[in-house]
Structures are given as structure tokens and as C-alpha cells.
Amino acid sequence: MKTWDRLSGAVLLLVAVAWGYESSRLPLGQPSLPGPGFQPSWAAGVLGLLALALILEATLRRSESAEAQRPRWAGEGKALAMMGCLIAYALALNAAGYLLATGGVLAAFLLLERQRWPVVVGVALVSALASYWLFAVWLQVPLPRGLLGW
């Protein structure tokens, strides 16, 4: 895994440098009134530091066996199922509405993780309602209502 960690750290470092370069072309603003380049500059800096930490950690880590250095693909079925759920969510969001589609995708994710039904229903319901309240009520972001009107 050391090689993969170094490689992914190098790629992330390149992304951070490119991101930082592009964000440097935007004005940073003042401390009391940040400009459009403030957040992207900070995000690029944090990403760069994390990439360097990943490279350093992979360099200093003790050598692993050849078996452990290969990436493990054991979860590809679950990952593909989750990607399918996200695609279905994007396609159904306008027709089903935010609450129904969000609750459904969260329930599907929890079922993929083999959670018990009370946990699936409770977490999906509370999460969908809480995120609806946060975005639609508190932040006043218009969300899709769907055919049922909610």
C-alpha cells in the first residue's frame, strides 16, 4: 500500500497546486470581508498539507508484505450498488421529491450495510427530515417537491 499511498498523495498534491494556482487569480478580500478566492485558497492549502502528510506517512511506514501492498477490491460489489443508488437518486429526485428520494437513498445505503429495519427506518427518516429542515426551512433553499407535493 505504500506505493499506492505515495501515488495518490502525489496526484492530490498536483491537484492542490493547480487548485491553488487557479484560486490565486481571484481576490482574497479582507479578513472581515473575504473575497471569492478566500475559500478556494484555504481548501487548496489544506489539501496540499494532507497530501504531503500522506506521502510522508507512506515513506516512513515500515515495509509490508507483498500481499498487503496490492489494493483490495473486496468491496467493489457494494461500491457499484451504492453508485447505482446515487444514480437512481439523481434520476428520481424531481419526480419523487426531496424527502422521499433522500429517505429512500439513505435507507438503501443502510440496507447495503446490513442494518436492522428499525435502524434503517429511524436513521433514514430523521436524516431526511433534519436535512429538509436545514435546507428548506432554515436556509430557505428551494428543494424539489415531487408529485406528492413534499
Provide DSSP, 68-126. Answer: HHSPP-TTHHHHHHHHHHHHHHHHHHHHH-HHHHHHHHHHHHHHHTT--HHHHHHHHHH
Q: How far apart are the first and last CA of the chain?
A: 47
Share of the chain above pLDDT 70, in %: 89
Mean pLDDT, rounded, for 13-38: 88
| pLDDT tens digits, 112-127 | 888 999 999 999 999 9
Mean pLDDT, rounded, for 74-103: 88
| pLDDT tens digits, 58-88 | 888 776 554 555 555 556 778 888 999 999 9
Listed by start position, the domains of the chain span 2-69, 76-138
Q: Find all residues with CB under 8 Å of 10, minimum gap 6, and list them.
A: 51, 55
What are the φ/ψ torsions at residue 29 (nearest 5 degrees)? Answer: 85, -165
